[in-house]
Amino acid sequence: MRGAVQVAGRQRNFPNANARAKRLRKQMTPAEKRLWTKLQAVEGWHFRKQAAVGPHVFDFAEMSARLFVEVDGGIHDFEPVKIRDAAKEAWAVEQGFRVLRIPNAYVFGTGEPAMELVMGALREVAKDR
């Protein structure tokens, strides 16, 4: 399925997520900026950055693939953040999405490890179509 993807509720019903996404688009981390550049070059797929979906904001989303990509820095090692991430991921899975978590270290340097993970996830989606 290509195009619009239905999730719980309508996005206009989540003004906090929409406002947060808008702010985060202007404040992307260096790792997010680097991965964003690479994701834009992937042919045949359309990624959104800092995508508000339902009550959450995901670093990147490819809606037709039902894939969210999260770039995780050191803050994601803290317990309160782990708990929040687990709840966010559970919500996404409940909505029929896959969440791909990529450590910052995979993005820097060549960025190949990060892109291998993303392309692997996209290949899985493509073979199921």
Question: Alpha-carbon distance 70 to 75, whole Å?
Answer: 13
pTM (two decimals): 0.84
- Whether 6 maps to a domain, the answer reads no
Q: Of the candidates 107, 125, 92, which has an alpha carbon nearest to the alpha carbon of residue 39? A: 107
For every one of its 129 residues, what pLDDT tens digit does the chain have, with 9 covering 90 and above?
444 455 555 666 677 888 878 888 888 999 999 999 999 999 999 999 999 998 899 999 999 999 999 998 776 666 887 898 899 999 999 999 999 999 999 999 888 999 999 999 999 988 877
In a domain, 14, yes or no: no
Q: Decide: residue 38, CB within 10 A, 0-12 exposed, 13-18 middle, 19+ buried.
A: middle
Range of the domain at 50: 29-128
Chain centroid to Cα 117, Å, comes to: 13
Q: Are 36 and 28 in contact (CB under 8 A)?
A: yes
Q: What are 58's two structure tokens? A: 């995901």
CATH number at residue 108: 3.40.960.10
Q: Tell me if 55 is assigned to some domain.
A: yes
pLDDT of residue 12: 64
Per the structure, the count of domains in the chain is: 1
* Nearest Cα to Cα of residue 77 among 58, 50, 104, 52: 104
